[in-house]
């Protein structure tokens, strides 16, 4: 499992991503000392260090991802629903899962299809499950390295707000999902 390093995404994103990225499974509360700063950031500023952008939609999704990280589901939703690609659908699905609107989340995961990051997310979820305390979530995640976003929606629905090792493991997997998808969007935006 590769570590997520905020500094790899340039100075603007580094300042916004160098926070605890473990989020509630539910909506959380928008806020944080950097939310006002985020409101002033656009794609040109966020990616100025990289030179020219290759894919503006991916750049837009990176900003939407940061809004989601800061629990501003409305702004994240506004951004993700304008990008009609599997990546936009994926962010849209995560936002609805956290809302929580589980059936809508599953709808958007159907639009996502077999996303390229699933191949990495499945084994990493298994590794997180193997490191976790014995729990029903760990058992469910470790039965197959193939990522099943619908099963994960069900797990989040079952354990959102209950506390304990099951919810914590779901939060850790959700964090890794966010990190992998952000990284993928970022690298596509700048064509790394």
> In Å, how far are 6, 23, 76, 82, 162 from 44, measured between CA atoms?
18, 27, 18, 18, 41
Residue 108 placed within a domain? yes
Q: What is the pTM for the complete model shown?
A: 0.96
The reply to whether 28 falls in a domain is yes
Residue 125 lies in a domain: yes
**Hunting for tokens 């700063």 — which residue is that?**
37
CB atoms within 10 A of CB 8: 14
pLDDT in tens, 16-53: 999 999 999 999 999 777 888 899 999 999 999 998 89
- Tens digits of residue pLDDT in 107-156: 999 999 999 999 999 999 999 999 987 778 888 888 877 999 999 999 99
Confidence at residue 23, expressed as pLDDT on a 0 to 100 scale: 97
Read off the pLDDT of residues 58-108 as tens digits, 9 standing for 90 and up. Answer: 999 999 999 999 999 999 999 999 999 999 999 999 999 999 999 999 999
pLDDT of 4 over the 80 cut: yes
Residue 1 placed within a domain: no
Angstrom CA distances, 192 to 6, 41, 182, stand at 16, 22, 13
Q: Is residue 150 part of a domain?
A: yes
Task: Report if residue 77 sits inside a domain.
Answer: yes
Question: How many structural domains compose the chain?
Answer: 1
**Domain housing 181:** 8-190
What's the pLDDT at 85?
98
In the block, residue with structure tokens 């994926």:
90
Q: Give domain status of residue 3, yes or no.
A: no
The verdict on residue 176 lying in a domain is yes
Q: Tell which residue, 167, 38, 179, 41, has the closest CA to residue 117.
A: 179
Region of 161 (left: φ > 0; alpha: ψ -120 to 50; beta: rest) is left
């Amino acid at each position: 499992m590769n570590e997520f390093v905020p500094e790899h995404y340039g100075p603007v994103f580094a300042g916004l991503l160098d926070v605890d990225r473990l989020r509630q499974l539910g909506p959380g509360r928008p806020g944080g000392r950097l939310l006002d700063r985020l409101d002033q950031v656009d794609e040109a500023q966020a990616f100025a260090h990289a030179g020219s952008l290759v894919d503006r939609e991916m750049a837009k999704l990176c900003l939407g991802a940061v809004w989601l990280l800061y629990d501003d589901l409305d702004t994240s939703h506004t951004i993700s629903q304008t990008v009609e690609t599997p990546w936009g659908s994926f962010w849209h699905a995560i936002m609805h899962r956290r809302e929580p609107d589980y059936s809508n989340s599953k709808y958007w995961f159907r639009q996502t299809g077999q996303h390229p990051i699933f191949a990495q997310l499945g084994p990493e979820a298994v590794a997180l499950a193997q490191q976790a305390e014995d729990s029903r979530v760990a058992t469910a995640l470790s039965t197959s390295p193939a990522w099943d976003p619908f099963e994960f929606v069900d797990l989040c629905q079952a354990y959102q707000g209950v506390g304990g090792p099951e919810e914590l493991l779901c939060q850790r997997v959700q964090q890794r999902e966010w990190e992998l998808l952000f990284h993928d969007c970022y690298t596509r935006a700048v064509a790394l």
